[in-house]
Amino acid sequence: MISKQTKRILTLASSGALIFVSGAFFGKQAQMDKITVPLVQSAQKLLGLNFTNSQLDTALFELTDLRNSYARLREVKLENSVPLALLFNPIPVGFSFERKKEEFKPSAGKKVELPANKEDLAFYSVRELAELLRTKKITSVELTQFYLERLKKYNSKLLCVTSFTEELAMQQARQADAEIKAGKYKGLLHGIPYGVKDLLSTKGYKTTWGSVTYKDQVIDEDATVVVKLREAGAVLVAKLTLGELAMGDVWYGGKTRTPWDLTRGSSGSSAGSASAVAAGLLPFAIGTETLGSIVSPSTACGTTGLRPTYGRVSRHGAMALSWSMDKIGPIARTVEDCAIVFNAIYGPDGKDQSVYDAPFNYDAKLNLKKLKIGYLKTDFERNYPTKPQDQATLEALRKAGHELIPIELPKLPVNDLVMTISVEGAAAFDEITRNGKVDLMVNQDRNAWPNTFRSARFIPAVEYIQAQRVRYLLIQEMQKVMQQVDVYVSPSFASSNLVVTNLTGHPCVVVPNGFNNRNLPTTITFIGKLFGEAELLAFVKEYQDGTDFHKKHPSLSL
């Protein structure tokens, strides 16, 4: 959910003001200390307030009463799964989405044969593997065993798996084979092995959230995404690593690596999902993003990722970090693989009330010439490390016949709005912050969760609400931008785009677009309209089909 790339931004947000009288006492003795005018004077200086002594004296009774309320409210057991009563609304004034649902139309299937060298099967796309399964050239049991063997072989170097779900996988694979043999083919995911980021609950297996504190946790239900993939016939073979409580690539078992360079982390927090797919250990995996956790590991590992519109995929059964920013999406080899997986997991489930009932009318043959394509002109003109690769992408789009319309993002203090994650994350993990269990977490530096959770305890509710009002303005301003274009292109990191669009909830597709001077993958990002994944994916597929970066894979001498 949170990538290493965004830790510095979080530091800015979490260095917010302190207000000792607002319930930020953690010890029992502190709860009993009398609130006095001098105490409140000290607190208000840190907040930049200037109430008079008489005004503060008048407030003492209510401040004491409020502190007692905090203590009583803390007695209510709040599991991480309990959502907010307030739901984030990403929809701008005047916006509406398509209501008519049409048939999912992937590209036409091509004849696929088994490779002479079975190891080459590791890098087949979902679309190709589906054709092998449909035509009975391979069984799901064979395919599942193949990927399980690869996961076990390379996991000791990549550290991308928290738990193998082998018994479940073999049962699901046998069922898929029986159904396919009986002519009950469910579609392109039937019999396809996959993995999920280990913040999605799976019945009968641990759901560790990558954390020392929760490493033995078992949540006895399947997350909605896991249920939907099971119904599509997919085969769950592993729970994959995430940085502890969805930050970075360091978890209780070590540091997940990118297969392109074992001395480097795979970034995060969907660290294991991207690493496993990039290394050919799985054809696709499920990740999540709050502020870069699909984009960042996809960049480090050279995978293709889809971060859907906020409110597209149910988060029931997923660890909550930020109720108003968390999003679930696929990481795969190709854009169309992402479309295939998304088609199985999107839509309401009657449990996550933030999910909208909007159709996904993907058509691989969409007339792309009718789409208006924008680009962040000022951002692309800056000097930044991946500029040569990004300029080549822009030139490829122009050669394909697309006129690129220059656009600019809204001018609002978006980095300051990242306090949203600090506050909501601190609420999600308030209990372990107050009882001290955050001290057990692996990473304890100033940019890590323990410090962020403690610091956010001192951000006033008023400032959080005011930030959400600025976020409302950002949503309205982004709508003005999106009225100019259907899709736009952005550098993956040399821009405020990652922060802006995670705050507004716009969908994003990240794809490989080259290699840097260290032979590590680079990516570029495409943004679509809210609920516009169908057009976005069709457009980016055209770009990807004209390249071969996604077909390159790391050496397997791991």
Peptide bond into 156 cis (omega under 30): no
Judge contact between 224 and 334, C-beta under 8 A.
Answer: no
Of 22, 140, 201, 269, which residue is the catalytic one? 269
Of 262, 258, 263, 329, nearest to 292 (Cα)? 329
539 contacts: CB under 8 Å, gap ≥ 6:
366, 368, 371, 373, 486, 487, 526, 528
DSSP assignment string, 323-341: TTT-EEEEEESSHHHHHHH
DSSP-assigned letter for residue 84:
-
Structure-token pair, residue 499: 């922060």
Angle between helices 335-345 and 224-231 (to 10 degrees): 100
- Coil, helix or strand at residue 209: coil
Of 4, 7, 197, 529, which residue is the catalytic one? 197
Q: What angle do CA 99, 104, 110 make, to 5 degrees?
A: 165
Burial string for 287-310 (b: 16+ CB within 10 Å, else e) reads bbbbbbbbbbbbbbbbbbbbbbbb
What is the Cα–Cα distance from 93 to 351, expressed in whole angstroms? 26
Of 362, 357, 363, nearest to 312 (Cα)? 357
Judge contact between 341 and 304, C-beta under 8 A.
Answer: no
Structure-token pair, residue 461: 């509710």
Strand partners, 193: 235
- Coil, helix or strand at residue 236: strand
- Coil, helix or strand at residue 223: coil
293 catalytically annotated? yes
Of 267, 275, 293, 354, which residue is the catalytic one? 293
Distance in angstroms between the alpha carbons of the first and the last residue of the chain: 27
DSSP assignment string, 456-521: HTTS-HHHHHHHHHHHHHHHHHHHHHHTT-SEEEEESSSSSHHHHHHHHT--EEEEEEEE-TTS-E
DSSP assignment string, 516-549: -TTS-EEEEEEEE-TT-HHHHHHHHHHHHHT--G
Judge contact between 419 and 11, C-beta under 8 A.
Answer: no
Of 231, 122, 102, nearest to 538 (Cα)? 102
Residues with a known catalytic role = 197, 269, 293
